[in-house]
Structures are given as C-alpha cells and as structure tokens.
C-alpha cells in the first residue's frame, strides 16, 4: 500500500488511486521530458518502455495509454506486462508496416509523447 499524501477525487471506491504521466520518446535514446510524479521510465527495447513506479499498489485496475505525434502515423501504444512485485508496467509502441503492426521507435520531437493514466486499487480490502 502506498503511504502518500493523496488528494481525494469523486470516486465510488476510496481505494482507487490514479497515476498520470507522459514522456517524450527519443528514437533509440532514453525518453526525455517526463511529466507526472512518482515514476521513472526507460526504453527497454525497440519501441518498448518500462515504467517503474516509486510506490507499490495492490492491483492494477485499468490503463489508458495514447500517443501524441507531430506527424500522423498508423501507430498505437499497447499496454504490456504489469508486475506488482517489481512495480513495473510495460508500454509498447506499434506501427503499421506492410499490413502488420511491428514494434517501432518514435523519433525525438517536441510534440511526440507517450501519455498514460494508471488506475490502481490501493488496499486488499474488498
């Protein structure tokens, strides 16, 4: 359970915690211009980013992830593995290439970002 000062939203479940953030991909380099708190991010493979949470949560309820691109492209961000013990979640960027989606790096650009909102349950109470 995360021991942080949190600010209440209007939720039916008081144990729901939200972590939102974004970062700028930089091609094959490390992501830059991180926005949001309580996480770090690293490029772990082609188009793959591992977000490491600074706090542990009991359960991941949902993830919303999106791409902001300076130039239109047939690309999506897919949510990968969540490891509650390690406190990590993987986001993978996929781009259409000859009719198939393949892992792809996103070039550095001031208007290219990977955005995400993570919804967690912060208690073992049902």
Q: Where are the domains of the chain?
A: 16-121
> In this structure, how many other beta carbons lie within 10 angstroms of the beta carbon of residue 122?
20
pLDDT band at 56 (very low <50, low <70, confident <90, very high): confident
**pLDDT above 70: percentage of residues in the chain:** 86
Per-residue pLDDT band for 85 (boundaries 50, 70, 90) equals very high
- Residue 125 pLDDT exceeds 80: no
Q: Which of 3-12, 20-29, 93-102 has the lowest mean pLDDT?
A: 3-12
The pLDDT-based confidence of 10 (bands split at 50, 70, 90) is: low
Full-model pTM: 0.87
């Amino acid at each position: 359970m995360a021991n942080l000062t949190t600010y209440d939203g209007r939720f039916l479940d008081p144990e729901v915690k939200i972590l939102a953030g974004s970062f700028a991909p930089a091609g094959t380099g490390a992501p830059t211009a991180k926005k949001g708190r309580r996480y770090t991010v690293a490029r772990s493979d082609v188009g793959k980013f591992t977000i490491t949470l600074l706090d542990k949560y009991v359960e991941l309820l949902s993830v919303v992830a999106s791409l902001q691109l300076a130039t239109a492209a047939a690309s999506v961000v897919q949510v990968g593995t969540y490891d509650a013990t390690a406190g990590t979640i993987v986001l993978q960027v996929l781009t259409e290439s000859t009719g198939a989606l393949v892992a792809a790096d996103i070039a550095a650009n001031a208007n290219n970002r990977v955005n995400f909102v993570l919804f967690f349950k912060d208690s073992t109470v049902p």
